[in-house]
């Protein structure tokens, strides 16, 4: 009986031990998403794009930002459904370009640009950073969904 009670209790305690605002970009648990979308880069939080952006991205994984990220059809639709179900709300802001086409990059959204206004073009290009999409370079705990200022260090 003991371990059955202990496991959920521990999980509950662990959840409470986290800083209050830490769950802001918690990536919901999903085995297929983790396996297929966190192998080449960290798992980007589904909340950071709207449903139409995710639908557009999931519609062409063979040409995914210059990489072949193709998967079988069953997994593709399952992950697309997961992303759409957990996609951004009002706080995410506009995720379309000037012509109304859904943006595919979080790093091109107005919200991202606003939050990163202070970072110069030269900083983004540093060898230690490589690309704005490399969230982990500065947000040390990004893989766990933490993006708040307490865990940011901009590498030299």
Partner 1 sequence: MRHLPVIAAAIFTVGAHAETPRDFLARFEKEAGTAASAERGARFFTTKQGGEWSCASCHTDKPTQAGRHAKTDKAITPLAPAANAERFTDAAKVDKWFRRNCNDTLNRVCSAQEKADVMAWLLSLK
Residues that bind ligand HEC (CB under 6 A): 36-37, 39-41, 44, 48, 61, 64-65, 67, 69, 79, 105-107, 115-116, 119, 123, 129, 131-135, 137-139, 147-149, 152, 154
Structural contact between residues 97 and 103, judged by C-beta atoms closer than 8 angstroms? yes
Q: Are the CB atoms for 37 and 43 separated by under 8 Å?
A: yes
Q: Which partner in ligand HEC, partner 1, none is near 116 (CB below 5 to 8 A by kind)?
A: ligand HEC
**Residue with Cβ nearer ligand HEC (12 or 81):** 81
73 binds, among partner 1, ligand HEC, none (CB under 5 to 8 A by kind): none
Residues that bind partner 1 (CB under 8 A): 40-42, 62, 65-71, 130-131, 133-134, 136-137
Tokens of 100: 């109304």
Q: Give the one entry of partner 1, ligand HEC, none that residue 70 binds, where binding means its C-beta sits below a cut-off of 5 to 8 angstroms depending on kind.
A: partner 1
Burial 74-111 (b: 16+ CB within 10 A, else e): eebebbbebbbebbbeeebeebeeeeeebbbbbbebee
Using the minimum distance from each CB to ligand HEC, give the nearer residue, 9 or 97. Answer: 97
Output the six-digit token pair for 131. Answer: 């690309």
Q: Work out what residue 42 binds among partner 1, ligand HEC, none; the CB cut-off runs from 5 to 8 Å by kind.
A: partner 1
Q: Work out how close the CB of 28 gets to partner 1 at its nearest, in angstroms, rounded to a whole number.
A: 21
Question: Token pair 């995720």 is at which residue?
Answer: 95
Instruction: Name the residue nearer to partner 1 (CB basis): 26 or 134.
Output: 134
Please, which contacts does 88-92 make with residues 24 or more away whose CB atoms are closer than 8 Å?
A: 88/46, 88/47, 88/48, 88/49, 88/50, 89/47, 92/47, 92/48, 92/49, 92/50
Least Å distance, CB 102 to partner 1, is: 22
């Amino acid at each position: 009986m003991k371990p059955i009670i202990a496991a959920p209790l521990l999980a509950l305690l662990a959840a409470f031990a986290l800083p209050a605002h830490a769950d802001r970009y918690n990536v919901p648990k999903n085995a297929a998403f983790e396996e297929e979308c966190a192998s080449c880069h960290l798992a980007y939080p589904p909340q950071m794009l709207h449903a139409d952006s995710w639908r557009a991205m999931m519609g062409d994984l063979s040409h995914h930002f210059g990489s072949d990220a193709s998967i079988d059809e069953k997994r593709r639709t399952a992950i697309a459904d997961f992303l759409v179900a957990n996609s951004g709300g009002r706080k995410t802001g506009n995720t379309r370009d000037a012509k109304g086409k859904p943006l595919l990059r979080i790093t091109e959204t107005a919200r991202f640009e606003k939050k990163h206004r202070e970072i110069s073009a030269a900083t983004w290009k540093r060898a230690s950073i490589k690309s704005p999409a490399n969230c982990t370079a500065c947000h040390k705990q990004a893989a766990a969904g933490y993006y708040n200022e307490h865990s940011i260090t901009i590498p030299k």
